[in-house]
Structure 1
Amino acid sequence: MIVLRAGVIGLGVMGRHHSRVLNSLEGVEFVGVYDPGTGVPSSIQGKDVTKDLNRFLDMGLDYAVVAAPTVYHLELGRALAERGVHALIEKPVASDAASARELRAIFDEAGLVGGVGHIERFNPALQSMRQRIEDGLLGDIYQIVTRRQGPFPGRIADVGVVKDLATHDIDLTAWVSQQTYVTVNARTTHRSGRQHEDMVVAVGTLSNGTITSHTVNWLSPFKERTTVVTGENGALVADTLTADLTYYANGTTGAAWEGVSSFRGVTEGDVTRFALDKREPLRTEAEAFRDAVLSGDTSGIVTLAEGTEVVVTAEKLVADGQSHRLT
């Protein structure tokens, strides 16, 4: 069996989780971490944490997970590509669209696998939702609504809520519907005294005419992670905090009231909560990237091209929100 040598760049919250998963991933040897910051441990999962990038790259890596602050993604991605190392880069793939496009070009020209850590794609509820939509459960898709709210994350300093959180919803919406964004509009607020937006309400239209709306903030005292897809046959509701998926079918019972029956509306029919195999999304993502490196088949991961489109859409939302900001 081929064993790939993998390391992690950045030992923040996500870097620690990636280290844990890689250390127990079949077919992978976790070799260590690079993080030049102060206050990080000297080892994790029994492996050294080095503050020297060249020393890290000299470990003979097959691939690395980049979990450093977004502003460093382009620089680190370039260094990895120059050494022939495949990379899974945490979302957003870059701070801006130009940097994202450059990263994509660097990895394409080097013939390396580049992926983006949009972990929501690997949530069991959304994976099941995507498959059921593809199988025709909902029929035509009319609308996708997401709500992503929670307390302020102290780990974020270099981007606003659009690029940190709304990028999840941009990616998963395009992915579950197999459509692209055609138009987007947004309203944003700056309530926490930072230079970046901390709340956004966004609407959009997808390539097949599906309409979308996204409510995202990190100033809510409670956590919510909900995706609702409404189609001609009913609605699918995914709670990605609990990885639950529920189907609300349109009612089929006829209306006795003639005035109502003449209006072709719908009522609630059967409700089904699907039993899902609830595997950890980060481990599923890690397995998919490992397999992509081994086979060269990137159909099971979020590619740099897809990650770039997410950043492009996010930038449009930020710009539109700024253009409508009251002064």
Structure 2
Amino acid sequence: MKRILVLGGGLIGIRHVRAVEAHDGCTLAGLVDPDMNIAPELRRFAAMDEVDVPVDGVIVATPTHLHAQQGIKAAARGWHMLIEKPVAGTMPDAQALEAALVQSTVRSLVGHHRRYHAPVQQLKRELEQGLIGDVINVSLMWAMRKPDTYFEGNWRTAGGSPVMINLVHDIDLLRFAIGEISSSVALRGRSIRGGDRIESGAIAIGFENGATGTISFADTAPSPWGFEAGTGENPNIGVTGQDMMWITGTKGAISFPSLTLWQGSEWSEPAQRVAFEPQKNQKPPLEAQLDHFIDVMNGASPLIDVADGARTLAAAENIERQLMQSDAQPSLCG
């Protein structure tokens, strides 16, 4: 039985707590959060330094800017770690954490849990095996209307860019399924709520394998298109079951998450839909990720470690930087 400590008692942290409690291969060592009113029925610690019980692994589910320093502390104590996305607040922080891990025997995993969706793994596998030939381009859309209360009286008012909160998942999905990102160009959209926060935009992406792609995003526009809406993986977001990513190749095209497959060869003939059965998750991805974290603690290779997670962070940081430097369209407020 692995003894797992959870850092952070927010929405995702409590989901991790419940997953650990329900798992038959681990036990909850406790919850670390400065707000001692959160889950008082658990073994509670206000800070990492107070933890005085045996710990095999730690799940870091705190605000992003704390990930690196807490990960470095965990490595010093010999705790294997699962760190929520993004792996760190900045690339220097991610590199410092990676250096600390290199000097230790601690293993790491980064919480890009979309990699544990069965259809995502199926898509990656089929693309690698040439289901639609050589990938030519990919179009991805993520758009939802976040409630105004999401931004009121907290850090998101100024720093709640959807790039690091949401699109970092999509960027990792593209890296995982299509290939490494070699370049990007980003254009910032208009401000609906006012202020300097990034709300929407468009991104052109180049991949090392020669494919190209686009991402269109907004947290101000209600729509049926987005990973969470399409797959139902987030209990806080309504489910539409609509596709949100479309991929073309030299022998056909496929959309996700339905994995609707089309094949054809000549423009004079319409592409034909081909029967293709998407795989279903055997368990929620967060639980599958916990299974894998236990395996990683036992010596298995991680699906995405800190070094790999840092590459996703670097791509997201580059996009965020371009969006911040881009001239936003005129505000609709006032």
Which TM-score applies when normalising by structure 1? Answer: 0.86
Q: Quote the offset at 1:216 in angstroms.
A: 2.0
Q: Provide closer, same or farther for how the CA distance between residues 63 and 267 of structure 1 changes in structure 2, counting only shifts above 3 A.
A: same
Q: Quote the offset at 1:265 in angstroms.
A: 6.1
State the match for 1:272 in structure 2: 275
Q: Provide closer, same or farther for how the CA distance between residues 207 and 266 of structure 1 changes in structure 2, counting only shifts above 3 A.
A: farther
Q: Quote the offset at 1:36 in angstroms.
A: 0.7
Q: Quote the offset at 1:223 in angstroms.
A: 4.6
State the match for 2:35 in structure 1: 37
Q: Provide closer, same or farther for how the CA distance between residues 31 and 266 of structure 1 changes in structure 2, counting only shifts above 3 A.
A: farther
* Cα distance in 2 for residues equivalent to 1:275 and 1:207: 27
CA contact (8 A) 2:119 2:278 kept: no
Q: Provide closer, same or farther for how the CA distance between residues 223 and 35 of structure 1 changes in structure 2, counting only shifts above 3 A.
A: farther
* Cα distance in 2 for residues equivalent to 1:209 and 1:42: 53
Q: Provide closer, same or farther for how the CA distance between residues 193 and 85 of structure 1 changes in structure 2, counting only shifts above 3 A.
A: farther
2:104 corresponds to 1:102? no
Match for 1:116 among 89, 110, 117?
110
* Cα distance in 1 for residues equivalent to 2:278 and 2:300: 32
State the match for 2:219 in structure 1: 218
State the match for 1:321 in structure 2: 323
Letter of the structure 2 residue corresponding to residue 24 of structure 1: A
Q: Quote the offset at 1:287 in angstroms.
A: 1.1
Letter of the structure 2 residue corresponding to residue 170 of structure 1: I
Cα deviations across residues 153-184 of structure 1 (Å, max 9, x unaligned)?
A: 6287244111111111111111112x211110
CA contact (8 A) 1:95 1:159 kept: no
Cα deviations across residues 52-83 of structure 1 (Å, max 9, x unaligned)?
A: 32233x22111111111111111211111110
SS state at 1:295 partner: coil
State the match for 1:191 in structure 2: 192
CA contact (8 A) 1:7 1:31 kept: yes
* Cα distance in 2 for residues equivalent to 1:193 and 1:73: 30
Q: Quote the offset at 1:203 in angstroms.
A: 0.8
Match for 1:307 among 306, 309, 329?
309
Q: Quote the offset at 1:315 in angstroms.
A: 1.4
Cα deviations across residues 215-263 of structure 1 (Å, max 9, x unaligned)?
A: 1222222352222221112112113xxxx3222222x6xxxxxxxx7xx
Q: How does 1:148-297 map to 2 (within 5 A)?
A: 148-152=142-146, 154=150, 157=156, 158-177=159-178, 179-189=179-189, 190-225=191-226, 226-239=244-257, 244-250=258-264, 264=267, 267-278=270-281, 279-297=283-301
State the match for 1:257 in structure 2: none
Q: Quote the offset at 1:270 in angstroms.
A: 2.3
Q: Provide closer, same or farther for how the CA distance between residues 266 and 108 of structure 1 changes in structure 2, counting only shifts above 3 A.
A: farther
* Cα distance in 2 for residues equivalent to 1:108 and 1:266: 55
CA contact (8 A) 1:114 1:304 kept: yes
SS state at 2:309 partner: helix
Equivalent pairs counted in the alignment come to 303
* Cα distance in 2 for residues equivalent to 1:79 and 1:196: 32
SS state at 2:297 partner: helix
Q: Provide closer, same or farther for how the CA distance between residues 36 and 112 of structure 1 changes in structure 2, counting only shifts above 3 A.
A: same
Aligned Cα RMSD in Å? 2.1
Q: Quote the offset at 1:39 in angstroms.
A: 4.8
Match for 1:9 among 7, 16, 31?
7
- Structure 1 unpaired stretches of 5+: 253-260
- Structure 2 unpaired stretches of 5+: 227-243, 330-334
* Cα distance in 1 for residues equivalent to 2:30 and 2:166: 28
CA contact (8 A) 1:180 1:207 kept: yes
* Cα distance in 1 for residues equivalent to 2:323 and 2:123: 30
2:46 corresponds to 1:51? yes
State the match for 2:67 in structure 1: 73
CA contact (8 A) 1:121 1:172 kept: yes
CA contact (8 A) 2:260 2:273 kept: no
* Cα distance in 2 for residues equivalent to 1:92 and 1:223: 25
Q: Quote the offset at 1:24 in angstroms.
A: 1.8
State the match for 1:138 in structure 2: 132
Once structures 1 and 2 are overlaid, which stretch shifts more, 144-153 or 106-115?
Answer: 144-153
Q: Provide closer, same or farther for how the CA distance between residues 35 and 185 of structure 1 changes in structure 2, counting only shifts above 3 A.
A: same
Which TM-score applies when normalising by structure 2? Answer: 0.84
Q: Provide closer, same or farther for how the CA distance between residues 72 and 246 of structure 1 changes in structure 2, counting only shifts above 3 A.
A: same
Letter of the structure 2 residue corresponding to residue 325 of structure 1: D
* Cα distance in 2 for residues equivalent to 1:48 and 1:111: 27
SS state at 1:274 partner: coil
* Cα distance in 1 for residues equivalent to 2:2 and 2:66: 25
Larger % of strand: which? 1
CA contact (8 A) 1:161 1:200 kept: no
Q: Provide closer, same or farther for how the CA distance between residues 182 and 265 of structure 1 changes in structure 2, counting only shifts above 3 A.
A: farther
Q: Quote the offset at 1:18 in angstroms.
A: 0.9
| Percent of residue pairs bearing the same amino acid type | 23
